Structure 1
């Protein structure tokens, strides 16, 4: 008879503990997604867990049976906004599933979240495109369903193999229209002249993009916090590529960001947002094209870009399709009310 599972919180500054936690996470992701698994590297995760963040408190756990780590979990608690939410993850390698490991981890994490006064649990899970769009049949989706987690927003993971021919980029927008907007691009941290407006737009992303049934409020916009996150990205060996559109009055009208991992070498499309009053000028496509040009110029060996979009965001999906992105996986943003 199998011994009981113990849940232990790890110390992010003890190397062996983080290593064991990460390997359980990575093994579970590979079991779920195979070659399409997107896995933060060990050192990227370590840097995140060690960050002394003013905006998010992160806690990590391992499930232990007979002195062996058989699963891992995480809990992230916003500290300045969305104080009703707790983001969590549960990862169990395939050889340890259906033995109560995931349930023990989930119960412990939910209890911790409730103790912190959180009323809504959120998590993101992935499943292959070969399965139904609602994830039926995926081990992680069925586990979540049994424990009361519903899909609040369905997303698609898209992949673009690089390089994209300059001729294709030129064909998408032959020339910039004379509408008073100018583009600025850079590699690395956001320049001081634009960081406040960039951070403000970035904070709006969770509410301006489709939210489905998610109950979410805009994040706080603080330049000091934003710079702290940039410092963490540098510690993770990630490189940011940013492009903005400036309106005639000098205000930032739109922004987009691609981040390249120094470990797996892939590029990841992060936020893209156009201010409400500046929409209708094709700025989203223009800045994404310019940012892609810059990425290919400065990082010609980057093999691919991944991006995530809500399935209901037909406009952005159409933009990505024109660029050559193809669906490589599905993602569900799940939620559950506690109590």
Structure 2
């Protein structure tokens, strides 16, 4: 086998289609035919984005003109610029031939040439396999190539529609704890008068939430980055739904965001965080409930909400259990030091 690794033109429809076909085939083979993956058009629009915060390098893997896999390198440009995010997707028909290993070596070399010293990636496996993922193809591939499990996550799924009476009961239970705070929700971009507070929480979520052994530092709050992300959501036909809890002085004490895919119809939980000074007031529960109410009003036919949380994040997992989420899958955040 002579593996050809080429960077694709994100505006070449055929190349993007070939990349997505390999990616989706590999993911579904390992995780199940019904698992949620980025849609073809969501992927295409992300590849085409001219971002000031992230450089994306999508790559096709070919053997004699036949596409045998897809890969990707993502390089943060604003924060954690010592990190490179790597991804390799090889459909089952092309495995056990060195395709994945050769592609990973290539990605690591590209990352090192770009001055990155830490390589990170992720892989998912059935919940029943346990925290280590022993036996799962992606986990074993990563293990063989020196990638440690830096953080273990649990995917949880909430079937919709929700019984609103359940939300009413939880609201009543937390009313005393949240007294003095106000909750505000919206659909679409974050309102200008709260976006700075939102950006502060969003920038710190990767390090304020449990981060295990991940080699990352807090990001710098940046409203422009929030707006760039919102522009991409519009192009991807994704609908953001946001909620904040505000102090009596109008400061953002907590935030949460759901993003509804216009392609598969599911809602995906993005960040949820409560400011340290305001913890202990059940604000995480309060903002999630308000967001779920708005979700059911705006997207009543959404089949489910998917969320990921660190397995060590007992508090947020307890909130999810209270709301009716059930564990469905695990994800390992993997890491290898290149220098």
Report the TM-score range of the alignment, normalised by the length of the smaller protein: over 0.9
Q: Residue 82 of structure 2 corresponds to which residue in structure 1?
A: 84
| Preserved CA contact (<8 Å) 1:243 1:256 | yes
The answer on 1:295 being equivalent to 2:317 is: no
Question: Over residues 184-229 of structure 1, what are the superposed CA-to-partner deviations in whole Å (9 max), with x where a residue is unaligned?
Answer: 0000111111111111110000010001011111122221221111
CA-CA distance at 1:338 after TM superposition: 0.7
Instruction: Give TM-score scaled by structure 1 length.
Output: 0.98
CA-based RMSD: 1.0
Question: Over residues 103-134 of structure 1, what are the superposed CA-to-partner deviations in whole Å (9 max), with x where a residue is unaligned?
Answer: 11101111100000000000011001232320
Q: Residue 207 of structure 1 corresponds to which residue in structure 2?
A: 207
Aligned residues: 337
Instruction: Give 3-state SS (helix, strand or coil) of 2:233's partner.
Output: helix
| Preserved CA contact (<8 Å) 1:36 1:328 | no
Q: Residue 43 of structure 1 corresponds to which residue in structure 2?
A: 41
The answer on 1:306 being equivalent to 2:295 is: no
Question: Over residues 33-65 of structure 1, what are the superposed CA-to-partner deviations in whole Å (9 max), with x where a residue is unaligned?
Answer: 004522100111111111111111000111101
Q: Name the CA shift for 1:132/1:224 in 2 (closer, same or farther; >3 Å).
A: closer
Instruction: Give TM-score scaled by structure 2 length.
Output: 0.98
| Preserved CA contact (<8 Å) 1:160 1:305 | yes
- For structure 2, the 5+ residue unaligned runs are none
The answer on 1:286 being equivalent to 2:262 is: no
CA-CA distance at 1:269 after TM superposition: 0.5
Q: Residue 8 of structure 1 corresponds to which residue in structure 2?
A: 6
- In the TM superposition, 1:226-305 aligns within 5 A as 226-305=226-305
- Counterparts of 1:83 and 1:240 in 2: how far apart (Å)? 27
- Counterparts of 1:68 and 1:221 in 2: how far apart (Å)? 44
- Counterparts of 1:33 and 1:163 in 2: how far apart (Å)? 25
The answer on 1:131 being equivalent to 2:129 is: yes
- For structure 1, the 5+ residue unaligned runs are none
- Counterparts of 2:171 and 2:226 in 1: how far apart (Å)? 32
